[in-house]
Each structure stands twice: as structure tokens, then as C-alpha cells.
Structure 1
């Protein structure tokens, strides 16, 4: 099967964020990219461009990002490096994607659809906590079960403590180093669409929320528009979930899958039936080293 016979998903975890660099559970906290994270995004764009040029295929026709700032900043840098401008739209799975968006090639632009379903796993009360501290509190076995097992789930967050409150009420910062944005302000669009947003999640629950987005938006739009490729910027857990769904990875084996920051992974699907064909990193050596760093988080401070 040739490259042109497949639909390609350029999938990557956002570049390094301010909390990644500090070994902190980030979850739905809106951390910014570090300078290293921006550099990783620029390198990702160059890898994507080089792959497209060497295989004589067009650049991705559409982009998808989460509703968290670090994926949007990563996408910003990628599109700037590719010489493309944004056409941004926040969506839910109930959104009717505009026909013009589905069928029009945007000259010098890329439509970028943002969805909470690509958000990082919600780490509940672990959000904003330092990984070594959580490891010490819970012990290695329970820490690794909650963090890595398909059904492992942190305690629910107390949103009254976690979120910055409206009307200048900052809430209690006791035990919390960082804050999740107020949901009524950041996710008002989703609330009006009656989306049920989590207070803690297992990876299993991330897979469940991602499936309808993948099938009803990403793959449906690709079929209707006869797209060659798309680019998806997600998070460690949302990228793992996409891999599990597309490749059919077992509940047991997904525990051993780690996603490095800012290195594009290509997943190829048969354009006849959109079944999995193969996957590969565009920088496999760096991906291997950085994935091990992800697995070791909490046990050592990452640079």
C-alpha cells in the first residue's frame, strides 16, 4: 500500500509546558508552553513539512486541538512554521461542521477545530500537585496503578477549591499550587451544549469521550472532504486514547504506551475503510528517549 492510498493523522502531544518541566500533574490546568516547548513545536512542523515534501503529498488540510492553551500554542507555532494562518472554531460532537469547512480548500489557511474531548485526562485532586509528592503519599504500587492502569482513577477534584471563582472570589488555595480555569467562563459553550465535563477520569473514560469525536468528526470529515491528512495536537492521555482506538491496543498493553512531548506520530489508515495500516514517529530515536522520561515522571526531576 502506497502513502497516497492512506489517510494520515499527524498526531502529537503538545510541546513541553511550564508544569511538565516542574513534574506537576497538569490535567485541565491551562499551563503555557516553555521556550523548549515552542522549539519542539517548530521542530515538529519541520518534520511534517519534510515528510510531505519527500512523499509528494500536500500539507494537512485540517487541524484539531484541545481546549487547553498548551495545545493551541503548539498548533500556533506549527502553522506559523508551515506558513499557514488559522481559521479557529470551538466545537462539540453535536456541532454541524460547516459545509464550507468540509468542502473548501483554504488558500494559505488551515481550519483548526478545538474540542474539550481532546483535553488531557482530568487528574482530579492530583491536578496541580507535584508528582514526587503524590508518589510519596500513595506509594509506588498505588501511584502507578492510578497513573497507568486503564481503569486507574484519581480522587475527584473539589471544584470549589480548584477553580478560580467568579466575581473576584479566588477560592481557597489550600493544598493547590495551580488552578483550573472557571468552567462557567472557559467552557460555557460546552455547558450550553449540555456536555458532561469530568471531575476525575481514568484512561478508559478518556477513550469513551474521544470515540464519538474521532468517528463523527475527524474520520467523517476526512471521508466527506476526501482529505489526505490532518494534524491533531493533544495530550499524553488523549493521544494514548486515540492510539488505543485506532490500533486496537488492549487494555493491558496500553499501560506500557508513553507519549513524548512534541514529536509527530503518523498513523496511516486505509482510505477504503479507514482501518489501521501502520504507525511511526518522524523522529523515532528522540521519541524513544523522551517516552522513557515520561514514564519516569515522579521518580526523578526531568530537565
Structure 2
């Protein structure tokens, strides 16, 4: 059996301001820092140890991982960063508030963009300043791979590809792995790990800064999974990210 730990980054400044974030590189809020530190303490108390870590190109996930590893005295382990674990790309919604977006497009349309499996938000134009092509982080990535919008469906494809090629071989080699990523890139991972349908994944909410532990068999199929922390704390965190008037992506 293998253990795998997933953790969603702590609250970001854009989460706090209720803005669509996506690939925009928002930093952690003070609350988000405390969430990450608390997660590290929980993992240390439960005597988890990691050999390798994976995270995205976005600082809110990178810093969450750093705070976790610092609390565990594991800053020395190997960390891989990849754009394939980025949050889903929210296209032209990025940087907009939910209130402004709902006023422009209507609540039902915004709900479709946020929670449906395969409905794409409006795409960025190629000359938009928010196009990742203009960000140095993505300078070595083929233009054809860089999205201008994504639904969860597209996010699943890129996360699955990275899992198959890079992460799962490490786990099968006996490495203890932690992945620090985002609400939707982790939902993408959960979808194929748990073999959920496109309808079932819609109702899955991943709480911020709360370690999710998987026990996997030798084929990396889940045997069990659980969140670390008290039931009351975990439920309150899940409800927080599930609020219809709160953007936590």
C-alpha cells in the first residue's frame, strides 16, 4: 500500500477579495499562511514524512508547500513545479469579482462557468495582457499547450497526463509524495483517482489548507481516504469553500 497526501493552497488575497483567480499569481493572505502552517503541524503530529513534492507554477501553492515543509523540517526534499498542476484557467473572468460578473452575465451563467464540468468561461484574446504567453513563467511552453480558458474537463486532461508520466511512477517506486495545488487541479486528480463521473465531481469541494490522505493499492486505486483534523473543523472548511457567493478558485 502507498500513502499520498494532497493539499489545497491556503486562502489567497484574491480569494479574500472574492475575485476569479485562475492562472493569475495571487499571493497567500495572512489567513492562508496560517492555514498552511496548521496543515504542516497536523502532518508532523501524525508522523508523515515525504521524499518528493509536486506543486504548480503559482505562488499561493508554492508558498503553501513551503510553509508545510518548513513546519515538518522537510524543506530539503526534492520539489517539482509544473504548470500542469495550475488552477483551471478562468479565461476572461480572471480578475473580475463575482458580483460584477453576476451583474453582467447573470447568476445562473456564472454558476455554470464555475461548477459545470465542461462549460468554458469566455476566453482571453491572444493580445490580452492576462495571456500566460506574456508571463516569463511560461516562456518555454509550446503556445499550443497554453490555454486561454478551461473548464474542469480540460484541467483533468493536463493533470492526468502529468500524473501518468511523472507522479505515479514515483509513488510506485516507493517515494512518499505530497501534492500542493489548487481547488480544480485537485478536483481533477480526485475525479480520476476515485473514478467519479462528470456529474459526481461537480459536488466535490476541497477545503483550503487541509491535508487529504489517500491510501492506494499497488495499482494506485484508492483503498481509503480522509482529511486530517477534527470533523468539526473539516466540515466548516468544506462549507466555507462551497458557499455559492464565495469564490475560492
TM-score by length of 2: 0.93
Q: Distance in 2 between matches of 1:214 and 1:13?
A: 17
Match of 2:63 among 58, 73, 81: 73
For 2:83, the equivalent position in structure 1 comes to 116
For 1:202, the equivalent position in structure 2 comes to 151
State whether residues 42 and 78 of structure 1, in contact with CA within 8 Å, keep that contact through their aligned partners in structure 2.
Answer: yes
Q: Distance in 2 between matches of 1:184 and 1:30?
A: 10
Distance 1:285 1:152, change over 3 A: farther
Distance 1:75 1:300, change over 3 A: closer
Q: Please report the RMSD computed on the Cα atoms of aligned residues, expressed in angstroms.
A: 1.9
Q: Report the secondary structure of 2:102's partner residue.
A: helix
Q: Distance in 1 between matches of 2:63 and 2:247?
A: 24
Q: Report the secondary structure of 2:11's partner residue.
A: coil
Cα offsets for 1:111-169 (capped at 9, x unmatched) = 00000010000000000000122122222222111110111210101242333xxxxxx
Shift of 1:32: 0.7
Shift of 1:301: 8.7
Q: Report the secondary structure of 2:19's partner residue.
A: coil
Shift of 1:25: 0.5
Q: Distance in 2 between matches of 1:259 and 1:127?
A: 20
For 2:13, the equivalent position in structure 1 comes to 18
Match of 1:214 among 153, 163, 167: 163
State whether residues 30 and 181 of structure 1, in contact with CA within 8 Å, keep that contact through their aligned partners in structure 2.
Answer: no
- Aligned pair count reads 247
State whether residues 147 and 153 of structure 1, in contact with CA within 8 Å, keep that contact through their aligned partners in structure 2.
Answer: no
Match of 1:288 among 216, 235, 249: 235
Q: Report the secondary structure of 2:171's partner residue.
A: helix
Match of 2:221 among 275, 289, 294: 275
State whether residues 269 and 275 of structure 1, in contact with CA within 8 Å, keep that contact through their aligned partners in structure 2.
Answer: yes
Name stretches of at least 5 consecutive residues in structure 2 with no aligned partner.
Answer: none
Within-5 A mapping of 1:85-234: 85=75, 109-163=76-130, 183=134, 185-191=136-142, 196-224=145-173, 226-227=174-175, 229-234=176-181
